[in-house]
Amino acid sequence: MADTLTTTADTKEQISEKSAIVVAGLRKSFKELEVLKGIDFAVERGSILALLGPNGAGKTTIIRILSTLLPPDGGQAFVDGCDVVREAKQVRKSIGLTGQFAAVDEYLTGEENLLMLGRLYRLSKADTKRRTHDLLELFELTDAAKRKVKTYSGGMRRRLDLAMSLIASPPVLFLDEPTTGLDPRSRLTLWEMIRRLSASGVSILLTTQYMEEADQLADQIVVIDHGSVIAAGTADELKERIGSARLELTIAADGNFARAEQTLDGQDLHLDRERRLISIASQSGVHELRELLQRLEAAGIAVESVSLHRPTLDDVFLTLTGAAATPDANEGAQAEQERTTA
């Protein structure tokens, strides 16, 4: 049985008003594998929070706990003001879930999938038909509504899967790597639909390994690694943590590289003499670039090319975790432990 904290009615009301999801000290282990080591974060109502981390970091485990599919070993979590352990039934009424793989029936049409799920949620026939019509329209599936899902493209299946998670109009939505495997155009389409959902007031917890996805969609980002939160903030705040932008100047072949180095002495320089490249930490970007070019021109040094590189979330991820956003060794072990102990 998971440890839970005593929560007063006033505290629950405050949680429900301000945050759609609150996670405090969440812990989970599978036999000897400690997956979550005391996770803390909150998702404000009507916002999107992205969980970033390599595979095996614990992202999907968090989603499974918050959606009441897996009990925590310790800590506490609230979804829409309800405790995920003690009030699991109420939590399930408040959430929609889109997992890593589309959970649709290939032998039914898109419309039939939605109608079936509406009946499983015990919506009235009128409400089921209305929601099905609205969702098919929202996710641009009206023309394919009567076709069997096995004829759908990957992007269409993903949109249908997301539509199905919304059939009961949940205020909270969990998206577990929703665009994995999609082509760039389908990914952009799904991003736009996720933005619309957030703008309509749906609170969204998103896990992803696409840094651009988090940068484009998330109001707040939480980075986890080896079961712990290692950073949190907006995309811009996280980028600022790893340093300033960098200016890169390539000195022309007929230019004097050593003299260029002397001319720019006093700057934070990184030199690549073989490529004739000078990299400089920059705080003011374009303004500083103009000043440096003027100094080089006054010294008679020809510059072949210039570029300004600002930190990206990929830089953040690499700096914080020491690895790219690719599967790590814990992924297979964690999945196997979940299958045998959940």
pLDDT in tens, 124-140: 999 999 999 999 998 99
The two three-digit tokens of residue 247, written as one number: 């200016």
Q: What is the pLDDT of residue 25?
A: 95
- Cβ atoms of 178 and 209 within 8 Å: the answer is no
What domains can be seen in the chain, in order of their start residue?
Answer: 9-239 (3.40.50.300), 244-310 (3.30.70.100)
Can you tell me the mean pLDDT for 41-45?
95
Q: What is the pLDDT of residue 2?
A: 42
Which amino acid belongs to residue 154?
Answer: G
148 forms bridges with which residues in the sheet? 109
Average per-residue pLDDT for the chain? 85
Q: The whole model's pTM is what?
A: 0.76
Q: What is the pLDDT of residue 269?
A: 78
pLDDT band at 332 (very low <50, low <70, confident <90, very high): very low
CA distances from 187 to 66, 89, 155, 190 (A): 25, 33, 8, 5
116: helix, coil or strand?
Answer: helix
Give the 3-state secondary structure of 272-308: ECCCCEEEEEECCCHHHHHHHHHHHHHCCCCEEEEEE
Q: What is the pLDDT of residue 267?
A: 66
Q: Decide which of 167 and 7 is more confident.
A: 167
Longest Cα–Cα distance of the chain, Å, equals 79
306 forms bridges with which residues in the sheet? 249
Q: What is the pLDDT of residue 324?
A: 52
pLDDT in tens, 208-264: 888 889 999 999 999 999 999 999 999 988 888 776 677 888 999 988 899 998 888
Q: What is the pLDDT of residue 287?
A: 78
pLDDT in tens, 257-298: 999 988 887 667 788 888 999 888 776 667 788 888 898 999
